[in-house]
Amino acid sequence: MILPKTPLYQAKTDAEFRIRMIQHIKSAYKDILGKDANLLDLPNGLDMVQAKIQQRLYDISRGEINLLRDEGNEQLAA
């Protein structure tokens, strides 16, 4: 995979990349996330924000866009 030569993608560790990615998301998507951007400071913040965005898409599209995890299907696949 070819990554852009920007500071975001030139992190030396996974932890450093995670911190940079969270800062990027906060600045680039602050208008969309609003106060939910503060969730990114929590240890599972990325997962929480992802779940909220998936739920928003589902609600706005009236179920046409469904990125929500289907718990029943995950159990069947396991």
For residue range 27-42, what is the model confidence (pLDDT) as tens digits? Answer: 999 898 999 999 999 9
- Token pair, residue 5, equals 């030569």
How many structural domains comprise the chain? 1
Q: Which residue has the tokens 């289907």?
A: 70
CA 62 – CA 77 distance, rounded (Å): 27
- Token pair, residue 30, equals 């602050």
Residue 2 belongs to some domain of the structure: no
Residue 13: predicted pLDDT: 86
Residue 15 belongs to some domain of the structure: yes
Residue 55 belongs to some domain of the structure: yes
Residue 26 belongs to some domain of the structure: yes
Domain range for 52: 7-77
Kindly state the percentage of the chain with pLDDT values over 90. 23
Residue 66 belongs to some domain of the structure: yes
Residue 58 belongs to some domain of the structure: yes
Residue 1 belongs to some domain of the structure: no
Task: Identify the CA nearest to 22 among candidates 39, 5, 2.
Answer: 39
Residue 38 belongs to some domain of the structure: yes
